[in-house]
Structure 1
Amino acid sequence: MSQMNRRQIFQLLGLGAAATATVAGTRTAMAGNHYYDGPPSDHFDGTRFFNPGGIEPRPFTDVLRWRFGGGGERAVWPERVASPFPAAVPDARIEDLRLTMVGHATLLVQVAGLNILTDPVWSERVSPVSFLGPRRVVEPGIAFERLPKIDLVLLSHNHYDHLDVETLARLKAKHDPLVVMPLGNDCIVLDAVPGMRLQVGDWGDRIETPDAVIHVEPAHHWSARGLRDRRMALWAAFVVETAAGRIYHIGDTGFHEGINYRAAAAKHGDFRLAILPIGAYEPRWFMAGQHQGPEDAVAGMVLAKAQYAAGHHWSTFQLTDEPIDEPGRLLAETLRQRGIARERFRPMLPGEVWDVPKA
């Protein structure tokens, strides 16, 4: 298979993370890990990171089985939809806690006078190329030019729907934020955006900033920008301690029997807010190790002892098989079945603004 054909197949499959290294613009593959050089640990074997006791990412043969071997019915998403919420125009600062959904895993978190972006993506596609790969179906909930001054970016891992170097370059030029990320992702960011201010952490690390303390915590996922860098950069969740309460943010995760949720609650106590993925979960035989669905997200909120939760990672880019609106519907049904008030877990759509109640 030629490199061009392989690239096209991966992009047509809708897997933005799986493209050839030369197309992705990453470094040429070499022996060992070309993002991170450090000692082995309980989640790093000296070359690749892994989920302790977890599920390995599926091989390419399973990708083909999923997309071409009858792995499930793929819902047809509309090419473009309008959010029920108008584009938001955020205030400059918020002293308590307010969320504004941009789309997919990108949220503006305004808390205790601090402006935070999670996994910022304003690009039209989540792909190493501009002409193939998952395309945005709804406009960003905040126009980039209307963002308030951004102080901090939380970058969970290097898949293209979470690490968008074009958006990071725009943020560097206009806002010069501090970007916090797990090990190895700094190589990718600095190659594309020289001079970006970074803080890099391993699972369990504590990063102090003037207005918040950020803890880098485990998530059950994986990483890749190309065919030869799988699991060479770490993935993570974050706990943000602020004067307005603790926030638990997960960009992507499989449920992993709730292990990481229980650990977060045991280590940090309860949370005022959990920001949790609820989409990109079908078919389950393929996605369970990397993406949780609404049922798992509700279980995670309970295990983490979060008073409120916001659902993201849905309704913006079609990465998997479920219908565009299914995660929101299943979340509401799961909350009803478990006797949890719907207002405690909001599946957020672009432009939606939520002033999170005090716990």
Structure 2
Amino acid sequence: MKNRGFLKLASAVTVMTLGGVGYAAHRRSRNPYYQGPVSDHFDGVRFFSPGQPQDKDVAELARWQLAGGREAWPARVPSPFPQDTPPERVEGLRVVHIGHASLLIQVAGRNILIDPVYAKRASPVGFAGPKRANPPGIAFAALPPIDAVLVTHNHYDHLDGPILARLWAEHAPTFVAPLGNDAILRSYDATIPVETRDWGGSVDLGAEITVHLVPAYHWSARGVNDRRMALWCAFVLTTPAGVLYHVGDTGYGDGAIFRAVRERFGGPRLATLPIGAYEPRWFMQAQHVNPEEAVRIFRDVGAAQALGHHWGTFRLTNEGAEAPAEALGTALGEAGVPAERFLALRPGQVWEG
């Protein structure tokens, strides 16, 4: 009975954090976040990635949870970089890793946060779920004036509701998110205005910066009954400093969505790509790339530079804390790509280009 209770809790937290099962979500036949026309990636209730596998079942989740094979993580994974104190404005391009998938991009005099998460746990509950292994690379109080906040999707390791409400109260930025996520943000503060767009949509951020929402191979959920009821995306920013491509979470699939970015926007000056939360592959492959696949994306889009995120802060899957960085080094060597062209960022680390 004790093991069953643990599995039930672990399953619920996994489903809501980044998981991989849709058995409970299919009980709901109405979408509480978004009501819109049917499209090639929305069936009237749920979003989906065309041609890609969607949901795993509870038996597959149990197989993963009970199989073991998780590499040990230390309680702390300290960064060799101190917490950064960013300048108020940057006319060129400066990127700081806050931790996991959270980045501050300073470009053309604008300050843009992507998926800012400051929570101690990437979880719907405060007493369980993945716990932060290092402090944020920028203290919240040290943030410069924030002009825009971009949210790729609603998983708890990407959408930190309380911190988004605090950002609105203290900075009043423009919020940009894919369809349905406005309802989620407003559940934390009803006054938050959110620019929501479908894949292919765009938002003018001023200073000759436009953010474009493009597809990713992923999914969404905040609870056990709302799977795929809010859209997910990647972002392309066209800026005076060049094209920037950011992926929060994605599988590789057939690679078509990445080649499409290059065809539409040209090769990015910078691609920020996930490199962690990928084991076991049989479970995670459809939703999270591994470092080898991240290198493939880097080459598909023709980026001049890549920065790796989504690793080393929250223990989400089976690989060890340092495994993504090590595997990235191996993948770059096998692809003949110089290591300095694709860096595995650590909290507080700054890249300027």
TM-score by length of 2: 0.93
Query: Residues of 1 paired with 2:331 and 2:112: CA distance?
Result: 29
* 1:209 positional shift: 2.3
Q: 1:75 to 1:341 in 2, by over 3 A?
A: same
Name the structure 2 match of 1:113: 109
Per the TM alignment, residue 195 of structure 1 is displaced from its structure 2 partner at its CA by 1.3
For residue 9 of structure 1, report the CA deviation from its aligned partner: 3.0
Return 5+ residue gaps in structure 2 as ranges. Answer: 21-26
Partner of residue 202 from structure 1, selected from 198, 204, 208: 198
Alignment-derived partner of residue 274 in structure 1:
271
Give 3-state SS (helix, strand or coil) of 1:257's partner: coil
Find the aligned partners of 2:314 and 2:195 in 1 and give their Cα distance: 28
Percent identity, please.
49
Q: Does 1:285 align with 2:282?
A: yes
Structure 1 residue 279, shift from structure 2 partner:
0.3
Instruction: State how 1:119-158 maps to structure 2 within 5 Å.
Output: 119-158=115-154
Distance 1:111 1:326 in 2: 31
State the SS of the aligned residue for 1:64: helix
Shift of 1:267: 1.1
Cross-structure match for 1:100: 96
1:194-222, CA deviations, whole angstroms, 9 ceiling, x for partnerless residues?
A: 21131100001122221211111000000
Matching residue of 2:157: 161
Q: Give the drift of 1:330.
A: 1.0
Match of 2:251 in 1: 254
For 2:36 and 2:12, locate their aligned partners in 1 and report how far apart those are by CA, in whole Å: 32
Assess if the C-alpha contact under 8 Å between 1:254 and 1:292 holds in 2: yes
Matches within 5 A, 1:206-245: 206-211=202-207, 212-245=209-242
> Do the aligned partners of 1:57 and 1:290 also contact (CA within 8 Å) in 2?
no
Write out per-residue CA displacement over residues 81-106 of structure 1, whole angstroms, 9 at most, x where no aligned residue.
Answer: 22111111111111111111110000
- Per the TM alignment, residue 57 of structure 1 is displaced from its structure 2 partner at its CA by 2.7
Alignment partners' CA distance in 2, 1:44 and 1:101? 33
Q: CA deviation at 1:31?
A: 3.6
**Counterpart residue type for residue 273 of structure 1:** L
RMSD: 1.8
1:65 aligns with 63
How big is the shift at 1:30? 5.5
- Indicate if the aligned counterparts of 2:7 and 2:62 stay in contact, CA closer than 8 A: no
Partners of 1:10 and 1:73 in 2: CA distance? 17
TM superposition outliers: structure 1 runs of 4+ over 6 Å: 4-7
Corresponding residue for residue 342 of structure 1? 339
Q: Distance in 2 between matches of 1:13 and 1:216?
A: 26
- Residue type matched to 2:166 in 1? R
**Structure 2 CA distance, aligned partners of 1:30 and 1:280?**
28
User: C-alpha deviations, 1:43-101, integer Å up to 9, x for none?
Assistant: 01111100100111322221111011x2x510111111221111111111111111111
CA offset at residue 15 of structure 1? 5.5
Alignment match, 2:24: none
1:49 corresponds to which residue? 47
CA distance in 2, matches of 1:36, 1:318: 31
Is the Cα–Cα contact under 8 Å of residues 14 and 318 in structure 1 kept in the other structure?
Answer: no
Distance in 2, matches of 1:14 and 1:213, equals 33
With structure 1 as the length reference, what TM-score do the two structures score?
A: 0.92
